[in-house]
Structure 1
Amino acid sequence: MELRMIKTFQTVVRLGSFQQAAEVLRYSQPTITMHIQKLESDLGTKLLFRGKTIQLTEAGRVFHERADQLLKDYDSLSSTLNDLVQGEAGQVRFGISEPTASSRMPGILSDFLSRHPKIQPSLKIGDSKMLNRLVIDEELDFAVCPSPELHVDTEFEPLLYEPMGLLVYDSHPLASRKDIMLHELKNEKFLLTPPNCPFRIRIEKQLYESLNEAFHGIEVSSILAHKHYVQAGLGISIAPILTVTPLVPGTRLIRIADLDFGPVAGILRKRSVKLGSAAEKLLGEIRDALRSENADRQLDDGLAIRLA
């Protein structure tokens, strides 16, 4: 039983004429007759009585009542499958780390979904280590995060450099400074991210090299919360500038002249996994947004940023 034969039957019943149905469907009249006969053969029952007028059999009435819904369901299924193929529908599971999760992604995702409303994204927010594991286990299609310690099965595409700064409270002795050197931070109490955080590891290395001594700190796992703890006078924070701006009242941001690194955000994915069309479309949108921001920042700041 072919859909074109069902459409032919419905058209014949609607118009009440084989000849008119042939004209509307652009078939010959013998083709219309053949479609009806083949449909009746497939169903094993007669659907129409032909005379001066066309009359439905009891089976024909039941089939006619349900065929419209069958055609609608088919059209809906066909449209859904076409959307999936074209990347206009489907689920996308992706991971994201801070600060991009809170500061960039809402705008990127809002704009994307306004143009692709049938795509259903699912976001998992976490650190690079956790997201790397989820990508390897194929629980995520891809992740947006700083480069983790890569697994043999994963690859990372760097896209955006995150500049760092020193956040202090208003009454801090350094609060009036525009820039400082790391060696000037002796005896300071720092707010620190978790030990496995990639840029904490880099910060600690540079602090040890600059201070030539141990330093003290309070661990506050969420980098986004640091500015509030600085505001309360609990310590100072070396953090990506995006995470501490806009500044909260009572805090100041200072440039660190000899801090020569910052985390690099990019796309993490599993090498062997071919993404669906919807996931590729969203990934491309995120890639373009991060590249554009990185290019704009270089122009604004006159920086030659390397993403290697």
Structure 2
Amino acid sequence: MDIREIQTFAVIAKTGSFQKAAEILQYSQPTISMRIKQLEAELKISLFERGKTLQLTPAGQLFYEKSQTLLANYAELDLFAEQLHNEVPARSLTIGVSDPTASLIMPQVIQSFHQAYPTVSVHIQVADANTCSQALKDGTIAFAICGAPHLILDHYYEPIFYDELNLLVSEQHPLANRQVVTLADLRNEVFLFTPENCPVRIQIEQHLRQSIGNQYRKMEVTTSLSHKYYVRENAGISLFTATAHSEQFSGTKVVAVKDLPIHPPIGLLTPSNQIEYDSLTLTMIRSIVDTFDTLGKKVQYPKIVQNRM
């Protein structure tokens, strides 16, 4: 089997389309089709069920799962070869990451990354999107994973996925037994908010005012991941991202909100003149996106990663 055939298969499986795979890999569609035919001939199985929608066969699904390990090992081998060529056995990588990604997602990314690359020192600067943007401008980080910052021409921001907002209440709260609420149900509640200049907070308050006017109170707790502790004591309620509420916190309940169409992006912030990252940096970016993918997020791989898949 040719590694390019397996890479092509993996991209088709991820995108669900031969045409999209051709665009990502920058090959003609006949070339993409030929590689899959060759792979199926070598394996003596059908990988895809071809109909109105492209789906993996049961055998194709099993092969896809195994191929992920192979491709990850291949990327590791590629990086190792690059290190041998450059005679740089050890190096460091500094990145900016906003919460909740920094606290809830990055630990497992780093744990796996350190196992694969024990000689690489990774440093995480936890900061909001605008601080990450300034750090990128100053050259102190290689890239950032954050919400959408105030963009400048020197930077390029590409969303990886769009989050959604949920309601977090104490188990003692009357709404704790509800599966879903509307903004009208939140009259006269005490809302825990991030700082006034937070874009998500501004959007939330705009929707609240449209729905219930000024019939709510607010308390500012600037660190978003602290909200759950205040909520647990029934000091207030919090509207925050599903990622922030992805781990169940004892004494609290997550409730869906029916009429809050806010979908904050989590994305990759890079210098606009960054033509290509080295294999190590690309592997870190892909590892982060892969982790979001395993959590069930509808991710879109950044273009700089797609070009190496």
The answer to whether the superposition gives a TM-score over 0.5 is yes
TM-superposed deviation, 1:220: 0.8
Which whole-Å CA distance do the structure 2 matches of 1:259 and 1:85 have between them?
51
2:107 counterpart residue number: 106
- Contact 1:148-1:198 at 8 Å conserved across structures: no
- Contact 2:187-2:215 at 8 Å conserved across structures: no
2:282 counterpart residue number: 280
Secondary structure of 1:174 counterpart = helix
1:146 counterpart residue number: 147
Which whole-Å CA distance do the structure 1 matches of 2:261 and 2:126 have between them?
27
Which whole-Å CA distance do the structure 1 matches of 2:85 and 2:202 have between them?
42
2:93 counterpart residue number: 92
Which whole-Å CA distance do the structure 2 matches of 1:85 and 1:282 have between them?
19
Larger radius of gyration: 1
1:139-185 C-alpha deviation (Å, 9 max, x unpaired) = 11100111112111111111122222111112322222111111221
Question: What 5-or-longer segments of structure 1 have no aligned partner?
Answer: 1-78, 299-303
Work out the percentage of aligned pairs sharing the same amino acid: 30
Quickly say closer, same or farther: Cα 1:86–1:240, change in 2 above 3 A: farther
Q: Which residues in structure 2 correspond to 1:112-127 (within 5 Å)? A: 112-127=113-128
In the alignment, structure 1 residue 187 sits paired with structure 2 residue 191: no
Question: What 5-or-longer segments of structure 2 have no aligned partner?
Answer: 1-79, 303-309
More displaced, 271-280 or 177-186? 271-280
- Contact 1:88-1:116 at 8 Å conserved across structures: no
Q: Which residues in structure 2 correspond to 1:1-308 (within 5 Å)? A: 82-83=83-84, 85=86, 89-213=90-214, 215-273=216-274, 275-290=277-292, 292-293=293-294, 296-297=296-297
- Contact 1:169-1:231 at 8 Å conserved across structures: yes
1:81-134 C-alpha deviation (Å, 9 max, x unpaired) = 944849863211100011111111111111112111121111100111111111
Aligned residue identity for 2:204 = I
TM-superposed deviation, 1:242: 2.7
Secondary structure of 2:132 counterpart = helix
Quickly say closer, same or farther: Cα 1:88–1:223, change in 2 above 3 A: farther
Quickly say closer, same or farther: Cα 1:244–1:140, change in 2 above 3 A: same
Q: Please provide the CA RMSD for this pair.
A: 2.7
Quickly say closer, same or farther: Cα 1:287–1:253, change in 2 above 3 A: closer
1:240-286 C-alpha deviation (Å, 9 max, x unpaired) = 12323433333221110111123211110111245444323322322
Which whole-Å CA distance do the structure 2 matches of 1:100 and 1:83 have between them?
33
Quickly say closer, same or farther: Cα 1:211–1:84, change in 2 above 3 A: farther
1:26-62 C-alpha deviation (Å, 9 max, x unpaired) = xxxxxxxxxxxxxxxxxxxxxxxxxxxxxxxxxxxxx
Which whole-Å CA distance do the structure 1 matches of 2:142 and 2:225 have between them?
25
Which whole-Å CA distance do the structure 2 matches of 1:259 and 1:172 have between them?
20
TM-superposed deviation, 1:80: 11
Which whole-Å CA distance do the structure 1 matches of 2:149 and 2:272 have between them?
15
Aligned residue identity for 2:248 = L
More displaced, 272-281 or 94-103? 272-281
Quickly say closer, same or farther: Cα 1:276–1:213, change in 2 above 3 A: same
Which whole-Å CA distance do the structure 1 matches of 2:85 and 2:269 have between them?
23
1:6 counterpart residue number: none
- Contact 1:135-1:141 at 8 Å conserved across structures: yes
- Contact 1:187-1:215 at 8 Å conserved across structures: yes
Secondary structure of 2:133 counterpart = helix
Which whole-Å CA distance do the structure 2 matches of 1:186 and 1:87 have between them?
60
TM-score, normalising length: structure 2: 0.65
